[in-house]
Amino acid sequence: MSILKIARMGHPVLLAKAGLVEDVSAPEIQALIAAMAETMFDAGGVGLAAPQVHVGLRLFVFRVPASRGDGVEIPLRAVVNPMIVPHEAAGRELGWEGCLSIPGLRAAVPRWREIRLSGLDEDGKAFDEVLTGFAARVVQHEADHLDGVLYPMRMEDFSRFGYNEELDRYPQELL
Ligand code: NI
């Protein structure tokens, strides 16, 4: 296992569209998933997409800690070749997001409240489920990385963008 280097905003790998994973069971994909999980935990993140570690494949890992998920915890998961369909009737909501490729900053970003997510798990098994709230937010953020989209590109109000230390000192209400 190993800790991987995380690309920071400005590196072109973060703007490229990633390619499909053909064989989830391939040893190099299994090793990549393990290393991405280790890297995410080491960095204290809740999600990490393959392009962030310089690999142009449609794959991410994520987790939802109990403190962030309205009490609903999602342990570490890998998602391969994801497809997202927003449930537009549920609307969008603003929520705070950071990104391991944009260290030290966070912003309020609009995301769909509810999505349908399908794809393959770390064993190559197909799944199809509905996610809401923070889990839906994390998945939309990570899936965006696979298309070269970073959260500032989703923002509509740049007054809600700042350094973590300052936003901790001067909390902003999201209404
Ligand atoms: Ni990110």
pLDDT digits (tens, 9 = 90+) for 21-38: 999 999 999 999 999 999
Residues near ligand 1 ion, CB 5 Å cutoff: 99
What is the spatial distance between Cα 154 and Cα 105, in angstroms, rounded to a whole number? Answer: 15
> Distance, CA 145 to ligand 1 centroid (Å)?
7
> Distance, CA 23 to ligand 1 centroid (Å)?
24
What token pair was written down for 13? 């790998």
Given a cut of 90, is residue 1 above it in pLDDT? Answer: no
> Distance, CA 85 to ligand 1 centroid (Å)?
20
Record the pTM.
Answer: 0.96
**Is 142 annotated as catalytic?**
yes
How do residues 74-103 score in pLDDT, each as one tens digit? 999 999 999 999 999 999 999 999 999 999
Classify domain 12-169 by CATH architecture.
Alpha-Beta Complex (3.90)
What is the spatial distance between Cα 168 and Cα 54, in angstroms, rounded to a whole number? Answer: 31
Q: Is 170 exposed, middle or buried, given 0-12, 13-18 or 19+ CB atoms closer than 10 A?
A: exposed
Of 142, 165, 166, 173, the catalytic one is 142
> Distance, CA 102 to ligand 1 centroid (Å)?
7
What is the spatial distance between Cα 34 and Cα 2, in angstroms, rounded to a whole number? Answer: 8
What token pair was written down for 144? 């965006």
The H-or-E segment that residue 92 falls in is strand 92-97
